[in-house]
Structure 1
């Protein structure tokens, strides 16, 4: 398949997937509440999805190395569609949990397989650009999805789930008829023979770095609404705009800047710059006093985060000797772990002092920076062997 045509198609696929996923975000709490969910049960409903992604992302990554990217992407999108329709038809709380488990297990195939596809079709020089384009698609999907969900929820809370399901089916047809397979039988045979699912050597450090980045982001997302309300009196509508501005900033950086910067300076420089900018963003958030400062400071953080994630994905697929699917599957698993652990710890820190989640974010940024320096030093060692 022509590489120039493949990236826009993958962008469209991930954008549509994330719009469908985002549609249900503003509706889920109220929908679950209608079926008798307590706040704790709602938290578990959200967590079980990430838990399934944590457990199954490496599996689907390995499967995509074995049978190809396209069929696994189709499995992931089909799983999303099924889970959305099951959610729409749920009449009891256990049915919501069942739908989330099924959706988490099957949709865990999407992100690692799409990232592996990007690694298949891009040169080392353009890898950062490709990963950035996928990151931009995810960010834009999360911006538009919740807005669409809010519009469709006004009449009946089940309607957004049907909309998300239909959108997933449209995306599935798009993949079926437009997307071509990125690996040949010979390439799949080669990737299957590669070993090293568990990260070894310096390359393992990048997985933990990614975990800490996602962990601190999840803690911020879980607490910022309360922090902004207390510090600056911001309401839900204003917060929606702020997160939209942050998302657009991150998407612009990932879609346009990351590729140019990684090509010119290398992924290592961009990762370190992103960590520093994120750390500064965490510090500035402590100083917000209104809508404008909140939007600017949160966007600074978002830009830093947007520099890190595609650059880590790019560097990992270059340096790991495991198959691309195995590598990106394990990376997605570490990201899921960060999304599981970040919100409860962020909430706990916020309950102790409202600024603690962001002070801890600065400390985690310092830790991430140190981890990268250790990785870089060990990669320079003559004895170092990437795995």
Structure 2
């Protein structure tokens, strides 16, 4: 039963995010053709992240109590509709509205899939189980841009969005017929959403994990939405080349997820978190300096390596917190809320700095924010673990007395 659930979740997430990855290299170009400025490009991403972020904790908390299949199939169906709606957009405002609707669907896919993996992970194997879901996520997003660039070069931008719709509807059907109606749920620590949020933000360790998750998502808009615009100014650049650059990062991340997941299970998580953050910060800082295709691929491979070091660590941390304190769905919902908040903040910061200071400054600011916030997060995690250890010692002393 558990293997069937995990395999179904991983394959459905891969298919869905393959569809999402297809539009990555073309959506910014489509928006620019509709008159989008740098700020508008940021808003198109930010509104998606905002609607997704606000709903993720709600969906996660409810999935712990009501079950997860219904949320997953609804999210996949919404994604399919979005692929049909984007080509009909007549302006930037339409794109913002459609992307807001897409955020509703997104709140029901990745967080719920991560909650499945979190529930299934045995103690000591959290990094590996989360690595399986991350492989599906990054493989889908990584392969998608190559196909998106190819389809846009062959048949135009509109065909790419229809392909996204088709893939998401395929994933919907796959989950509908293969996912068991009932999945065992763990109700330990389950309370209402607001009580859970209150308890989450009282724990230093949890807050540190969420800050690290937030910090590492600040670079999504500069590295995704601005890349096609930068490369479009190069002589001889094509949609396929943009897709290959984006894919090189995400496929590097996917290939290394499982080995680094095992390392996260046995190694020093705080050290790995800092190492991954440093790699990501350096790559983001250097991206605006690239002036040719091969250099950009090298930087994006390095960025993917840093993410591969860091993602399983944060996933393993989140599984531990969900299992021991808050419930898997609730923790994954809040964990992904931190991700959405990071994308939203990064979108606004990068869009404003691009329009006022230029593209390079948006990357420099993002680079510094990633490293500084991750350092602060590690300090909080360390302090929280010391507090937990002291509380455990006091509890043992009281029991012995």
Range into which the TM-score falls when normalised by the shorter chain = 0.7 to 0.9
Compare 341-350 and 130-139 and name the one that shifted more.
Answer: 341-350
1:70 matched residue in structure 2 = 69
Alignment match of 1:352 (pick from 353, 357, 362): 357
Deviations 1:156-176, CA, capped at 9 Å, x for gaps:
644333322222121111111
Shift of 1:372: 0.9
CA distance in structure 2 between the partners assigned to 1:13 and 1:212 by the alignment = 28
Q: Distance in 2 between matches of 1:214 and 1:168?
A: 24
| In 2: Cα distance, 1:103 partner to 1:77 partner | 10
Please report how far the alpha carbon of residue 286 of structure 1 lies from its aligned counterpart in structure 2 after TM superposition: 7.0
Which of 370, 376, 379 is matched with 2:382 structurally? 376
Contact 2:321 2:331 in 1 (8 A): no
TM-score, normalising length: structure 2? 0.82
Tell me how far 1:18 sits from its aligned partner.
0.7
Work out whether residues 80 and 165 of structure 1, in 8 Å CA contact, stay in contact via their aligned partners in 2.
Answer: yes
CA deviation string 1:172-209 (max 9, x = no partner): 11111222367426x34863579422422211121111
2:342 paired residue among 306, 321, 338: 338
CA distance in 1, matches of 2:84, 2:369: 42
Report what 1:277 is aligned to: 279
Q: Secondary structure at the match of 1:215?
A: coil
Identify the residue that residue 395 of structure 2 maps to in structure 1: none
Q: Which range moved further: 220-229 or 145-154?
A: 220-229
Distance 1:353 1:93 in 2: 22
Higher mean alpha-carbon deviation, 200-209 vs 280-289, is at 280-289
1:184 aligns with 2:188: no
Q: Which residue among 314, 317, 330 is the counterpart of 2:316?
A: 314
Q: What is the deviation of 1:283?
A: 5.3
Partners of 2:83 and 2:165 within 8 A in 1: yes
Cα gap change, 1:384 to 1:376, in 2 (>3 Å): farther
Q: Which residue of 2 aligns with 1:169?
A: 169
Q: CA deviation at 1:344?
A: 3.4
Residue number in structure 1 paired with 2:143: 144
Q: In the alignment, which residue of structure 1 is the partner of 2:265?
A: 263
| Cα deviation digits, residues 194-247 of structure 1 (max 9, x gap) | 9422422211121111111111343444555677789x9894554443322222
The gaps in structure 1 that reach 5 residues or longer are none
Using the size of structure 1 for normalisation, the TM-score is 0.84
1:3-14 pair list within 5 angstroms? 3=3, 5-14=4-13
The alpha carbon displacement at 1:80 in A equals 1.2
| Residue pair 1:219, 1:344 contacting (<8 A) in 2 also | no
**What CA deviation, in whole Å up to 9, does each residue of 1:37-94 have, x standing for no partner?**
5435554333322221121111111121121121211121122122223334556766
Q: Which moved more, 1:325-334 or 1:258-267?
A: 258-267
3-state SS in 2 of match to 1:377: helix
What do the CA deviations read for 1:242-268 (whole angstroms, capped 9, x no partner)? Answer: 3222222111111x3222202221533
The worse-fitting range, judged by mean Cα deviation, of 11-20 and 93-102 is: 93-102
Is 338-347 or 92-101 further displaced after alignment? Answer: 92-101
Residue 121 (structure 1) aligns with: 120
Q: 2: CA distance between counterparts of 1:33 and 1:263?
A: 44
Deviations along 1:319-347, one digit per CA (max 9) or x if unpaired, are 24111111111111111111122133234
| Bigger Cα displacement from structure 2, 202-211 vs 87-96 | 87-96
User: Is residue 213 from structure 1 mapped to residue 219 from structure 2 by the alignment?
Assistant: no
Choose 165-174 or 340-349, whichever is displaced more. Answer: 340-349
Q: CA RMSD in A?
A: 3.2
Larger displacement relative to structure 2 (72-81 or 109-118): 72-81
Moved more, 326-335 or 234-243: 234-243
Distance 2:275 2:236 in 1: 30
Instruction: Please tell me whether the aligned partners of residues 145 and 243 of structure 2 are also in contact (alpha carbons under 8 angstroms).
Output: no
Partner SS, residue 191 of structure 1: coil
Q: Does the residue aligned with 1:206 lie in a helix, a strand or coil?
A: helix
In structure 2, what is the Cα distance between the partners aligned to 1:55 and 1:142?
23
1:340 and 1:92, CA in 2 relative to 1: closer, same or farther beyond 3 A?
closer
